[in-house]
Amino acid sequence: MTSLRVRRIVAGGVAAMFALTACDSGTDSAAPRQLSDSDRAAVRHALEAAVATGLAGVQVVVTEDGRDWTASAGVGNTESGAVFPDNAVVRVGSNTKAFVATAMMQLVAAGTVELDAPVERYLPGVVRGEGIDGNRITVRNLMQHTSGLPEYLELPELDVDYDVMLTQHHDAADLVQRALSTMPAHFPPGAKAEYSNTNYLLVGMVLERVTGHPVAEEVTRRVIEPLGLRHTYFPATGDLDLRDPHPQGYEPDNGKRVDVTRLDTTWAGAAGALVSTGGDLNRFFTALLAGKLVQPTQLAQMQRDTKPLTNRPAGIDYGLGLARLAVPCDAQVWGHGGSIPGFRTTDGVTAKGRAVTVVANQRPTDPTSTSALQHVFDTAVCAAS
């Protein structure tokens, strides 16, 4: 049994011994026309620099004018040396929240859910605990992380070996009940914004209560299927494997890489269980920000109601399932990001319509790797257009 621990397994928003390889998908004519040869060279250089910090592999997908350009460095499988596959299917962690928030905002537009209604209206008796009162916490508080609710990932029973997590099934309602009954509120509702995955387990539970359907079914029907996202899905119960083509996902453990590709993600649920690709994520965020998934009023609320997250790096203002991301150029970027055992993703769309997703098949654990991965995203976003 490996000693790898998996506490704090859904985040917000984050090797020299292997040959550094870069590959472009398609031909130059298929690449976004705004990316020049020098732009693509700069992105490839950033990819190679990220892998040189110790990451197994990194891939970027840039989507513009409906066309994708993909470049990768490192490997998708450290044993075989296979490259990071194009159109790689990966676990996208907290990007799930943006999909769930989109489905919820459709319900808001229909008048089925009120953002400023107390959670108690939809989940009577559920949101209770020390300093916790569902009559004072609104749906908006949950969606923008201003509820003050504790982090369910801090539960001792989730601080287990990877081999246990692999096959341990969890129920969202049970995780919420245990978290709220054993940990106090961090602050009064609305006092500040603190990222807590508990919020989105509850958003998913509200969605299920008012529709009568599982959150995975509602998100699939309302978001995934209308956009034709063929590689995006919630794993079914007992589905531990990723669909092909996929890289292996790795976690560092005592100087070694542990393959954590197979995983039961029922503990992540509406907070982070989704599987997708860079191309599908780009199409989702592009459609969302273009007003193709929610009404203008609801999209404006998702972007207007932003708060700086006090427990995340500076430069992330969180709205209702969307985050405004700081980049080193004058581009305005909205997106999200995700971290889950084996994978780290960062994604966003500029005001001019360039969508960028960066995927690593090993989560960075030090500032150097984290900065290098961010630099790949910044380079692709800020390339001349």
Environment class of residue 16 by beta-carbon count within 10 Å: exposed (0-12), middle (13-18) or buried (19+)?
exposed
Q: Tell me: the pLDDT tens digits for 284-309?
A: 999 999 999 999 999 999 999 888 89
Average pLDDT over residues 313-322: 85
Residue 24 clears pLDDT 50, i.e. is over it: no
Which pLDDT score, from 0 to 100, does residue 18 have? 25
Residue 111 DSSP symbol: T
**Minimal CA–CA distance to 336: which of 346, 326, 351?**
346
Q: What residues are annotated to the active site?
A: 94
Confidence of residue 17 (pLDDT cuts 50, 70, 90): very low
In a domain, 180, yes or no: yes
Alpha helix positions (H), the chain: 37-52, 95-109, 119-122, 139-143, 162-165, 172-182, 197-211, 215-219, 225-227, 269-272, 278-289, 296-304, 367-382
In a domain, 359, yes or no: yes
In a domain, 10, yes or no: no
- How far is Cα 358 from Cα 55, in angstroms, rounded to an integer? 13
Average pLDDT over residues 263-272: 94
In a domain, 332, yes or no: yes
Residue 25 DSSP symbol: S
The residue that leads in pLDDT, 233 or 5, is 233
Q: How many domains are there within the chain? A: 1
Three-class secondary structure of residue 177 per DSSP? helix
Q: Tell me: the pLDDT tens digits for 142-201?
A: 999 999 999 999 998 888 777 777 778 899 999 999 999 999 999 999 999 999 999 999
Average pLDDT over residues 270-274: 97
Strands (E), 66-139: 67-74, 90-91, 128-129, 132-133
In a domain, 301, yes or no: yes
In a domain, 81, yes or no: yes
Average pLDDT over residues 235-262: 93
Which pLDDT score, from 0 to 100, does residue 163 have? 77
Residue 84, domain extent: 23-382
Three-class secondary structure of residue 321 per DSSP? coil
CATH code (residue 364): 3.40.710.10
Average pLDDT over residues 82-107: 97
In a domain, 89, yes or no: yes
In a domain, 3, yes or no: no
